[in-house]
Amino acid sequence: MKPSILSLALPCIIAFAACNAPANKTTTNTAMKDSISYGHLPPDSAFEKIIDGKQTHLYTLKNKSGMTLTMTNFGGRLVNLLVPDSAGKMIDVSVGLGSVEDYIKSTERYYGATIGRYGNRIAKGHFSLDGKQYTLATNNAPNTLHGGKKGYQDVVWDAKKQNDQALELTYLSKDMEEGFPGNLHIRVTYTLTDDNSVKIDYEATTDKTTVVNLTNHTYFNLNGEGSGTILNHSVQFLADNYTPVDSTLIPTGKIEPVKGTPFDFTKPETIGARINDDNQQLKNGKGYDHNFVLNKHDMKMPVALVKGDKTGIVMEIYTEEPGLQFYSGNFMQGKNTMKYGEKDDYRTAFAMETQHYPDSPNQPQFPSTVLKPGETYKTQTIYKFKTK
């Protein structure tokens, strides 16, 4: 069923109106803990280490308006993302850790990371390609999650700063690494543009038929890392449908309308408004941990709008990917101490991972994730920041 132009444009128009509401500055200033110094970047030395014989570093990108992004090549991770709030104060909206050691020790593996070879889940660690069966590690029993035991979040990427605003990461994922066929040459370029966007360009080629689903796993809190739960953030998606899941978070194969369910974010709604509803899908996900089927993904209009209630920071997502995994931090357990000293408590961050649908290698009715020799995997996602 094709959505009408009006049904596509309307949510954005409504959202922009909603996001235009003036931010509550009193809340902004009093609710932020004084102890959190949002402009403070970790020292570069905290990211210097040799892992698997390769040197890790912290790289800093800065745009003309002072927005700052830091990344480490350990896992291709976004560490800091300093964005101006509606009062002009810099807020770190990327929830992350303060050193490479902390990322190694963290019980949560995916903070800020570039994810692959297959972002999201593959059922029971099996898929077949060209009549051949492949077996992967079931690191998220009974399934494979985010590429297996040692996904791209745990490898050291080669990094090259192209200029003050762009970092190119490359990685050769060898044939049968984590059980996936084909030498996969990957290039991911993170660019901080002058319109306060983080642009991510993914590219990959293979020498054997394989499956690829790359994404970024930044945990966002638009009120700032350490500022409490994300339940009062408002969210809107350009998605009339989603892919329901079983209790192990594998899609049932159906594409179902969000209408009349707690998954209807076609109009702005807070994350917390319905998250505890008596709904089997919310029970399966332990909250939101679902793939939204995007009505359109042509970079012309945002597929998602998220607003931090305390800061007025709005994040728009543009993508060429057909799906968006919305994860509301349901497995966060306060076990790690983050870069400003706060714990990563339950639902204090969310992820919005642009990607193909979970388990696509086993679900032929979903858009294909197969990459063949001679083809180039190429996809772009933009996270754009504004204040309203």
Q: Which residue has the tokens 């570039």?
A: 114
Which CB, 327 or 385, lies closer to ligand BGC? 327
Q: What is the largest CA-CA distance in the chain?
A: 62
The secondary structure of 178-243 as a DSSP string is GG--S-EEEEEEEEE-TTSEEEEEEEEEESS-EE-B-EEEPEE-TT-TTS--STT-EEEES-SEEE
* Least distance from ligand BGC to the Cβ atom of residue 114, Å: 13
How far apart are CB 48 and ligand BGC at their closest, in Å? 26
What mask of x and - would describe binding to ligand BGC in positions 257 to 296, judged by CB under 6 A? --------------------------------x-------
Number of Cβ atoms within 10 Å of the Cβ of 267: 13
Cα separation, 305 vs 19, in Å, equals 9
CB of 137 to ligand BGC, least distance (A): 15
Q: ∠354-257-250 over CA atoms, to 5°?
A: 55
User: Out of 123, 249, 303, 382, which residue is the one contacting ligand BGC (CB under 6 A)?
Assistant: 249
Q: Is 110 in the site for ligand BGC (CB under 6 A)?
A: yes
Beta-carbon contacts of 117 under 8 Å, excluding residues fewer than 6 positions away, are: 147, 151, 152, 173, 177, 178, 180, 184, 210, 211, 212, 213, 214
Q: Identify the active-site residue in 146, 297, 353, 356.
A: 353
Q: How far is the CB of 25 from ligand BGC (least distance, A)?
A: 33
Q: Least distance (Å) from ligand BGC to the CB of residue 268?
A: 23
Residue showing tokens 């060209």: 130
Cβ closest to ligand BGC, residue 121 vs residue 310: 121
Beta carbon of residue 124, minimum distance to ligand BGC (angstroms, whole number): 16
Q: To the nearest 10°, the Cα dihedral for 239, 108, 39, 233? A: 30
Per CB under 6 A, which of residues 316..335 are in contact with ligand BGC? 325, 327, 331
217 is catalytic: yes
User: Could you confirm whether 356 is annotated as catalytic?
Assistant: no
Bridge partner residues of 386 (DSSP): 314
Per-residue x/- marks for ligand BGC, 171-210, CB under 6 A?
----------------------------------------
Residue from 57, 146, 217, 233 carrying the catalytic annotation? 217
Q: What would the two tokens of residue 46 be?
A: 């905290």
Q: Which is nearer to ligand BGC, 19 or 293 (CB)?
A: 293
154 binds ligand BGC per the rule CB under 6 A: no
The two three-digit tokens of residue 303, written as one number: 């597929």
Q: Does 246 bind ligand BGC (CB under 6 A)?
A: no
Catalytic residues: 217, 353
Binding positions for ligand BGC, rule: CB under 6 A? 108, 110, 249, 289, 325, 327, 331, 351, 353
